[in-house]
Amino acid sequence: MLDFTLNHFVKTLFGREIGPVTPSEFYTDELLDWTQKLDLSRPRAMNINKGYEWANSGYAQGKIIGGCLGSLNHLLGTRYWIDPTNMIFFLDIPESEPGRGMKIPDVDAYLTDLDNCGVFNVISGLIVGRLYGYTEEENHQVKSIIRRFISGKPYPVLFDADLGHTDLMITIPYMAEVEINSANNSFSIHN
């Protein structure tokens, strides 16, 4: 486990103040097949992290909920669904197969389900994890789809957070108090 990931996991696990979440310097979405012990042969290739990208500007503060797009959609309409009203919602777009991001039409369909349930109309902010397993063009396509759903919304939308299926990553403590602010390019978690 990489130090950045381990440090955030320990802070969350033991209820320590996380505070400002500074973007990692590097990230990877390379998959070294651990069943063939390729992960023991060399470290994964790292990419320079360009930091946060803001789709919508603004400031939001509130409790955070969310998760992996497919898993969230399985909860819609069940007793396990948490009402996202006035909360900051986070999304992770998972893989469809090892080393490949979720199929783009599936991303659109899953986001449509969330939109049909009114999620994008009631949240106070959106954080989207760094996309996994896409080419640069596919990455642009997925972000364009997300922008379509949040177009004209009055809340900030942060892309490329260190969460989800890429490494380095943070651990999000459900229902923690979070602040996101495009004016100073900040994301903070207060347990």
What residues pair up with 20 in beta bridges, in sequence order? 188
pLDDT digits (tens, 9 = 90+) for 52-100: 999 999 999 999 999 999 999 999 999 999 899 999 999 999 988 877 8
Looking at beta carbons, which pairs linking 169-174 to residues 24 or more positions away fall under 8 Å?
169/4, 169/5, 169/8, 169/129, 170/5, 170/8, 170/12, 170/18, 170/21, 171/8, 171/9, 171/11, 171/12, 171/13, 172/12, 172/64, 172/66, 172/90, 173/12, 173/15, 173/18, 173/64, 174/64, 174/65
Other Cβ atoms less than 10 A from the Cβ of 191: the count is 14
Average pLDDT over every residue of 11-36: 83
Homologous superfamily of 3-31+46-184 in CATH? LD-carboxypeptidase A C-terminal domain-like (3.50.30.60)
More confident residue, 73 or 28: 73
Q: In which band, very low, low, confident or very high, does the pLDDT at 164 lie, cut at 50, 70 and 90?
A: confident
Whole-number Å distance between alpha carbons of 170 and 127: 13
Contact 173, 13 (CB under 8 A): no
Sequence spans of domains, the chain? 3-31+46-184
Q: What is the pLDDT of residues 125-145, one digit of tens each?
A: 999 999 998 999 999 999 999
The pLDDT assigned to 104 comes to 96
Q: Are 89 and 115 in contact (CB under 8 A)?
A: no
Exposed/middle/buried for residue 37 (C-beta within 10 Å: 0-12, 13-18, 19+): exposed
The span from the CA of 166 to the CA of 47, in Å, is: 11
**What pLDDT, on the 0 to 100 scale, is given for residue 13?**
84
d(CA 171, CA 87): 18
**CA atoms of 33 and 147, how far apart (whole Å):** 33
